[in-house]
Structure 1
Amino acid sequence: MIMISPDILCQIEKDHKEKTIKELLIKAEENWHKDIPQAKSAAIKAFNLLNKDIKAEVRAEAYAQKGISFYTELNYDSAIYYYEKATEIAVNNKLKVYRYLAITTSAMEKTGRFMDAINLIDEKINQFNRKPEELLNLLLLKLSASISIGLTENSDSILKETDSILQKNPSEKIEKSLAKLKGRYYYMTAQYEESDSIYTQLLTTYQGENNKMDIAETYLLLAQNAMEVSRFDKSSDFLIKSQAIYDSLAYEYGQANINLYTGTLLSWMGKYQDASEYIYKSLEVFKENNNRNEEMKAYYELGWIFYSMKMVERSKRYLSQALDIAQKISNINYIGNIHNVYGQLYTYLNKYDSALTHLDSAIYYHEITKNIRSISSAKFNKAIVLEKTGKKGQALELYHYSYEVDKSLQNIVGLIEGEWILGQYFYHNNNFDSAKYYYELGEKNALKIDEKYFLHKIYRGQAELNSDLNNYKKSNQFLEKSLDIQEELFNENKTLELATLETAYDLKNKEKELALLNLQKKNNEQTIALNQKTIESQRNTLIVLAIGIVVLLILSYVIFRYLKIRTKTNHQLRKLYNEIQEKQEEIIAQSEELKEANDHVNELNEFLEKRVRDRTIALENALSELDHFFYRASHDFRGPLTTLMGLVGVSKGYELPTEASNLFNKVNITVRKLDGMVKKLQAVSFLGDFDNLKSPQYIEIDSEIKRITHDVIESKSFEEKELNYEININTSIKRIIFYPVIFEICLSNLIENSLVFNNSEKVIIHIKAVKENNILKLSVQDNGIGISKEVQHDVFNMFKRTSQSSKGNGLGLYIVKKATEKLSGEIKFESNTRTGSIFTISFPLSNLEKPNKKDIPKSLITN
């Protein structure tokens, strides 16, 4: 009978598992933009099947897909963790890094870390020479972050570089990604027609691919463009289409963005109450998930809304919050927007100097972004202030500038407002012909698009103008038209309120229907999942059966050949057949025996688990007794040792024979070594009762290190060994909140080891203390004898000595390790028998409480 090698079976199982993981990863990647729950399920299953034997590219992709599942849940910190793991695997195995870097920087942007993302990409670009494809992808990532915060010059430079590279190295995929970024760039620089053209082409492509996520995002971008040129109906249509897709995908970030821009649209339309409700709803999501850029936009919109409602203090509060975030994340575009609203607010308060300061700041920042619409808005508001302060010539120049910008952008509502403002300007300056000209232009454009709000204002202006010209008949006609428009606006508002109530009612019914549909969808998903499990189980069974059949066929063929060669008579064949039958019966019997053995193994496992639990309890008791022993032993030894050291000290006051003096010196050395041993036992006992330690205190790092170093060196002087040493101390922090006892235990033991285990003519010790990312890092480097590789894995064990000639007691590094673990820290070391050792301890500071005025227990100096 032929036996199949276990290695072959393992390889078959490994190949099958790897194939399954790849299929799941492909399924996840294909569905992130179509069916998020299905993609998430596939990504998690793939990740759970991973082990170290799976190929590096598959492991990297599994970590990335796991990160995307957290990204869709708006858990960006976890997402970044898994993206960085994927990147690490890619770097270590020389895979393409930019794919995993792309999703890392995307998560950074979602939390407002735009400059961090740009710096990370620059670091990767400058590391070494990149292939054109990889360089292009990195440049696109940098372009995305630059556009998001209005860095126009950076964006211009990147666009030129990418276009230059693409001319020599064309790539349809990269050109498609670049097109979306160009659409965003044109929006940033107020080139809305160019932006619309790109988005419309991309929308057709995404619809052909059934790429729901990108379709929804494109509708949202088109809505923003339409909003900027006052095409509110069109913007509303795009927002509704985008919302329908995000709702079907259950993508919370997309839904929150729809609420934000719906609120923005309503605020532009003067529906401030409804606008604020949508924006508050979006703000709740953004704050919960740390979407800093979107949170800043929501605060800005609320500041604008409350300014428009003349609620000044609330407006200031929200604008202040928006400006604080905008400055932290370096969003230049919104810094300019916020200053613009501040300028309008202070104009309303008649604080014209403050208004001009903010408006000049707005113009400065918008000139950096080169957004002519934003520049025009700020200059228009500045013109109002200049007119109020008597600088009419400058005001008129800025009015004309804004009017020409609206004309170039085809912003009809902006044109009508500009014509009304210019009409008012010329009327107040007695230039009636020019006033009449702009009023008539404004009337014509307002009638063309049925813009009643400004039409009402223009009719009022024309009535006043004709009254001053003594044309009372015409003045009355315009006044009647103004009153008619005013009545129409009043009726429309009433109708709108009624429609809003009806919509709210319909919305509640729709929400109930949606809840029912979601329940049905959930049931369907559960049914599908169950079916998938059944199919997967059947597939695995079929694979095993297929393998079994192949193995049986091979065995049958080998047996047949064997029988044909060895047996040539029917009698022998019959005999062999009977033997096979007997073997089958034996296999059945063995199967039953194996089942009984398996039951016995299960019983044995339960028995062993109980033994393990009993042993664990016993071990915990033993550890507790050991801590108690250390405490009692150190306490009981301490008294006699103190007496003995006192007697030795007294002997120094007498003139003794040389032999007696030498004996007392040797006794002194032995007693002090034993005292050092006792103090280390005290430290072990103290660490066992660490939970009773009082709160941390402020430590002056430099002076504390010098004091501890001095105490340790002085404590070694009793060995009659002349120490030739050099101590270098490097600290980047002056003061820190920490446990003085733990600090002293760790540092003194490491310094003592550097002195004791050192045969150099001059002992050199480097001590370094730094604070990085809220972590205290303490390192001690020496030029000692080092630790051989054979014993490095045991150095932190209790009473472990690294060599037979060791002078230590084997407790120092054990105590340091235990003290480090008590504060959830870690200790690492590098050692070489030629160059010495460096020990590095890292303590997290985030969980430390502020110190109180209670005394901390007396320091334990371990000698």
Structure 2
Amino acid sequence: MESALTQSKSSVHSLLNDAYERRINNLKSSIELAEKALAISKDLDDSSCIGKSLSHLSLFHMIIGDFDLAINMANEAIEHFEFENDEKGIADAKYNIAGVLYKTDDYNQGLTYLMDCLKTYKKLNDWHNKARVEKSMGTIYEYFGDTESAIKIYQSAIESGEKANDLNLQSNAFNPLSGIYLNQGKIRDAMDLIEKSIAYKTETGDTRGFAFALYGRGKIYTATKEYEKAENDFLEAERIHLEMGEKLGVAMCYHKRGALYIRMNRLDEAREILVKALEYSNKNRIILIKFRANLLLHEIAKKEGNLELALKYLQQYIDEKESVINDRTAKVIKSYDDINKMNQLEQKAQIQKERAKIIEKKKIELDSFFYRISHDLKGPITSMMSLSYVAKLEVKDETALKFLAEYETQTARLNTILDGLLNLTKMSFNEDTKQEIDFEKIIYDCISSYKFLTNYELVEFKISVDPTIKYRAEWALINTIIQNLIENGIKYARTENNKPQFEISVNQKDDCIEIISKDNGIGMDQETVDKIFTMFFRVNRKIEGTGLGLHILKRAIERLNGEVKVESELGEGSTFTITLPKH
């Protein structure tokens, strides 16, 4: 039964992938396949599959201009994705809603939706969808008249398309960017880019995209006064858009043909196609073409000396612009404020990354410095310790021997500090040499190595290791962690009124190894707990130590990508919980 269910879900995903691929040249087939996927999903009563099917259908209906249906399906898809906690699915459905909004009469709200989508796709490193969103945002920036932002976002869309290894995504941004170059008078750049787009669209078989590329080339031919070539491109693009059901593309072609015919002084044909563009845009709520069609009809009437009609079209243009554009100025500003906030957050994140790199570099430099200095000092200190030993053989005066003993103690302490620094820096420079870890052996070996400590004989050790654990890591790092836990458990034992105990356990928890050490020693208050991993910090000055042990332990844990938590109470003892990921 489970196998049949898995097969059915796989069938849904296969249908939707096929439908998405076909959208570039056969939207009718895309819709049929997605509807079939939706029917199977409903039979399965699978919320995730239903959401994905609805989202795909919403996209296809948005493309062909069935805007109300597209929004209804997208909102229904979002309900399923929210139930499934699928943030990518939510972003996909919001992208469809944004497409409807900016293609009709609410592009500032469309921008808000696109910004939400962009955050999600950036977080998921989804280059394919990031490119789609950026291209759409560029279009809206152009609507706002913000050419500088449009260029930047189109260039980012091209980079995202390259990372997705998708020629269509790249060429989708080539088309509008070519238009901007054309408006800036960079005819050669505009033509080079649009020809590249046409080549990409031909190679990939993207019929819809090919139509938009032809439209872009038609605009360049209009600017270079190659009117016949321009008309051919507009007519072919228009034919494809009508066949594909791409309503925005159809309206754009009607408008540009009208502008072309005015240039060619074919005013009757220009008026006819612009009236058609106006009616078509009114019917499909394509606000931008309405503005532009009214403005061009005003130009025709003025050329023909019909000032009353010219004034009428101009008034319609102004009324439309004021009622839609000016009323939304505040919202547009808010959208830009939101974008600026998002950009500022991204800049802060980038600054933090750069700062982390600098800190890491300085840390490596500091480690290198410590390593060199510690290594260089080891020789003289070893000589000093040897000299002390020889001196004790010759000196008989008790006062002198007392001073020599103090000298020996301090030299030994300095030697211990240097050993700690060398161990610390070796972690940064040692190569990754992983081996199977025998936790039980390491624990017993470490306990045995501390027999010389004052409290050793008094402490009761309790050891528990899961024998089924399989874990590979750098032996030296694990040994460092265990060794420091045991050393502290012995050194900071509370011996006056209770039986000192030290417990250590190693178990597997999910995909992690969990090491827990627990003692009933002197314990710490919270202020002390917050400082214990600081280099050279010592919990108790009366107890011998360098203040390096826990700092070294923390560095070893970090090297293994693990975490450590400390719970302690003054006079009651401490518990260290270390979690090390297995992979």
Could you say which TM-score interval applies, normalised by the shorter chain? Answer: 0.5 to 0.7
2:422 to 686, 690, 694: 690
Q: Does 1:483 align with 2:315?
A: yes
Cα distance in structure 2, aligned partners of 1:175 and 1:196: 16
CA distances 1:316-336 after superposition (whole Å, capped 9, x unpaired): 333333333321231222111
CA distances 1:607-666 after superposition (whole Å, capped 9, x unpaired): xxxxxxxxxxxxxxxxxxxxxxxx89x9479989xxxxxxxxxxxxxxxxxxxxxxxxxx
Number of the residue aligned with 2:551: none
Cα distance in structure 2, aligned partners of 1:256 and 1:176: 20
SS of the residue corresponding to residue 693 of structure 1 reads helix
1:382 to 185, 198, 217: 217
Change (3 A) 1:687 1:305: farther
Q: Which runs of 5+ in 1 are unaligned?
A: 1-21, 31-98, 100-170, 502-630, 641-683, 697-738, 744-775, 779-792, 799-815, 824-843, 849-863
CA distances 1:420-468 after superposition (whole Å, capped 9, x unpaired): 2112211211223432442354355446556565345434434433443
Q: Is the 8 A contact 2:34 2:53 kept in 1?
A: yes
1:284 to 119, 122, 133: 119
Q: Does 1:247 align with 2:79?
A: no
1:410 to 242, 245, 249: 245
Deviation, structure 1 residue 377: 0.9
Residue type at the aligned position of 1:693: T
Number of the residue aligned with 1:179: 15
Deviation, structure 1 residue 777: 8.2
Number of the residue aligned with 1:354: 189
Cα distance in structure 2, aligned partners of 1:317 and 1:252: 27
Cα distance in structure 2, aligned partners of 1:847 and 1:339: 46
Number of the residue aligned with 1:227: 62
Cα distance in structure 2, aligned partners of 1:495 and 1:819: 65
Q: Is the 8 A contact 1:272 1:309 kept in 2?
A: no
Q: Is the 8 A contact 1:690 1:822 kept in 2?
A: no
Deviation, structure 1 residue 374: 1.0
Cα distance in structure 2, aligned partners of 1:342 and 1:405: 22
Number of the residue aligned with 1:331: 166
Give the 5 Å matches for 1:44-83. Answer: none
Q: Is the 8 A contact 2:8 2:40 kept in 1?
A: no
Percent of aligned positions with the same letter in both sequences? 13
Change (3 A) 1:266 1:354: same
Number of the residue aligned with 1:268: 103
Cα distance in structure 2, aligned partners of 1:304 and 1:467: 31
Q: Is the 8 A contact 1:219 1:238 kept in 2?
A: yes
Number of the residue aligned with 2:207: 372
Give the 5 Å matches for 1:735-774. Answer: 739=429, 742=430
Cα distance in structure 1, aligned partners of 2:197 and 2:182: 14
1:420 to 255, 266, 274: 255
Cα distance in structure 2, aligned partners of 1:179 and 1:405: 25
Residue type at the aligned position of 2:194: L
Residue type at the aligned position of 1:186: R
Change (3 A) 1:817 1:687: farther
Q: Is the 8 A contact 2:194 2:216 kept in 1?
A: yes
Q: Is the 8 A contact 2:103 2:248 kept in 1?
A: no
Change (3 A) 1:493 1:431: closer
SS of the residue corresponding to residue 41 of structure 2 reads helix
Deviation, structure 1 residue 411: 3.1
CA distances 1:329-359 after superposition (whole Å, capped 9, x unpaired): 3122211112223212322322222222222
Which structure is higher in RCO with an 8 Å CA cutoff and minimum separation 6? 2
Q: Is the 8 A contact 2:65 2:284 kept in 1?
A: no
Deviation, structure 1 residue 230: 3.0
SS of the residue corresponding to residue 65 of structure 2 reads coil
SS of the residue corresponding to residue 53 of structure 2 reads helix
Q: Is the 8 A contact 2:274 2:293 kept in 1?
A: yes
Number of the residue aligned with 1:190: 25
Decide which moves more: 215-224 or 314-323: 314-323
Cα distance in structure 2, aligned partners of 1:818 and 1:448: 74
SS of the residue corresponding to residue 73 of structure 2 reads helix
Residue type at the aligned position of 1:323: I
Deviation, structure 1 residue 400: 1.7
Q: Is the 8 A contact 1:459 1:479 kept in 2?
A: no
Decide which moves more: 458-467 or 686-695: 686-695
Q: Which runs of 5+ in 2 are unaligned?
A: 333-377, 388-415, 435-440, 447-473, 482-555, 561-583
SS of the residue corresponding to residue 165 of structure 2 reads coil
Number of the residue aligned with 1:723: none
Q: Is the 8 A contact 2:64 2:247 kept in 1?
A: yes
Cα distance in structure 2, aligned partners of 1:278 and 1:195: 24
Change (3 A) 1:489 1:325: closer
Q: Does 1:237 align with 2:72?
A: yes
2:35 to 200, 208, 227: 200
Cα distance in structure 2, aligned partners of 1:446 and 1:276: 21
Cα distance in structure 1, aligned partners of 2:294 and 2:139: 28
Residue type at the aligned position of 2:25: A
SS of the residue corresponding to residue 243 of structure 2 reads helix
SS of the residue corresponding to residue 225 of structure 2 reads coil
Alignment coverage as a number of residue pairs: 380
Residue type at the aligned position of 1:221: H
Cα distance in structure 1, aligned partners of 2:327 and 2:384: 93
Change (3 A) 1:304 1:691: farther
Cα distance in structure 2, aligned partners of 1:454 and 1:639: 93
Change (3 A) 1:443 1:283: closer
Give the 5 Å matches for 1:686-725. Answer: 689-693=421-425
Q: Is the 8 A contact 2:198 2:213 kept in 1?
A: yes
